[in-house]
Amino acid sequence: MSTLYLGADKSNISKYVLFSGDPWRVEVLKQYLDDPQKVAFKREFNTYTGTYKGVQITVTSTGIGAPSAAIAMEEMYESGMEVAVRMGTVMALQDDMLGKFVIPIAAMRREGTSSSYVDMTYPAVADIDLVNCMNQTVTDMGAEYRNGLNCTMDGFYSKMHDSRFSLEWGRDMTETFEELKKLKVTGIDMESSCMLTVGRLMGVRTCVVTMTTVLENLKETLQGQARTDAEDLLCRVALEGIYRFSCS
Q: Which of 154, 153, 133 is nearest to 205 (CA)?
A: 133
Give 150-194 pLDDT, tens digit per residue: 999 999 999 999 999 999 999 999 999 999 999 999 999 999 999
Burial bucket for residue 209 (CB in 10 Å: 0-12, 13-18, 19+): buried
Check if the beta carbon of residue 146 is closer than 8 Å to that of residue 103.
yes
Query: What is the average pLDDT value for the chain, to the nearest integer?
Result: 97
In this model, does residue 1 exceed pLDDT 90? no
Q: Please report the pLDDT score of residue 44 as a whole number.
A: 96
* Domain residue ranges in the chain: 16-247
Check if the beta carbon of residue 48 is closer than 8 Å to that of residue 30.
yes
pLDDT band per the 50, 70, 90 thresholds, residue 38: very high
- For 139-180, the DSSP string reads HHTT--EE-SEEEEES-IIIIIS--HHHHHTT--HHHHHHHH
- For 28-41, the DSSP string reads HHHTTSEEEEEEEE
Burial bucket for residue 119 (CB in 10 Å: 0-12, 13-18, 19+): exposed
Q: Read off the pLDDT of each residue in 186-210 and give the average, rounded to a whole number.
A: 98
Give 105-162 pLDDT, tens digit per residue: 999 999 999 999 999 999 999 999 999 999 999 999 999 999 999 999 999 999 999 9
Q: Read off the pLDDT of each residue in 44-59 and give the average, rounded to a whole number.
A: 98
> What class does CATH assign to 16-247?
alpha beta
CB-based contacts of 204, cutoff 8 Å, min separation 6:
73, 77, 81, 82, 83, 84
Burial bucket for residue 47 (CB in 10 Å: 0-12, 13-18, 19+): buried
